[in-house]
């Protein structure tokens, strides 16, 4: 059973301008903080940053490897709702069970299988050799 789901997004490549923030490092940190806070509001927990290779086309026939930095987030998967048992209503003439305070639920028998349907009943078939004419 799956307990967590993961989301991978590209890391910011530029810093963000903001009031009272000076320097490239502080601007980049502000961009990262904004992104991490947005993901946290959506219920995602930051796991790590990874730098991974990515094959990309370069021209018509060649390709090159580009290194991409991504941020990995996870969050718990909401528990799947338990399947609700189908409640069958009791027949109108059914009396409630003493002390239960509710109607009696009568079990439903499953339909006959193909084998049961095809099994001849002795004395009920015209081709039955045991049956006298």
Q: Tell me, yes or no, if the pTM score tops 0.75.
A: no
The answer to whether position 93 is within a domain reads no
The answer to whether position 38 is within a domain reads yes
The answer to whether position 101 is within a domain reads no
> In terms of residue numbers, what domain contains 20?
4-76
* Domains in the chain, number: 1
pLDDT digits (tens, 9 = 90+) for 14-55: 999 888 889 999 999 999 999 999 999 999 999 999 999 999
The answer to whether position 100 is within a domain reads no
The answer to whether position 128 is within a domain reads no
Of 18-22, 61-65, 113-117, 123-127, which range is least confident? 113-117
Tell me 21's DSSP state: -
Quick one: which of 3, 26, 27 has its CA closest to 15? 27
- Strand 45-58 and strand 4-10: pairing? unpaired
Q: Give me the mean pLDDT over the 102-118 stretch.
A: 55
């Amino acid at each position: 059973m799956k307990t967590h789901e993961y989301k991978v997004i590209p890391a910011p490549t530029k810093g963000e301008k903001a009031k009272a923030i000076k320097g490239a490092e502080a601007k980049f940190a502000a961009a990262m903080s904004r992104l991490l806070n947005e993901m946290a509001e959506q219920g995602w927990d930051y796991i790590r940053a990874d730098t991974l290779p990515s094959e990309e086309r370069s021209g018509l026939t060649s390709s090159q490897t580009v290194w991409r930095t991504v941020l990995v987030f996870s969050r718990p998967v909401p528990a799947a709702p338990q399947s609700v048992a189908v409640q069958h209503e009791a027949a109108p003439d059914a009396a409630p069970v003493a002390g239960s305070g509710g109607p009696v639920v009568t079990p439903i028998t499953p339909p006959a299988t193909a084998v049961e349907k095809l099994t001849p009943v002795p004395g009920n078939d015209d081709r039955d050799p045991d049956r006298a004419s």
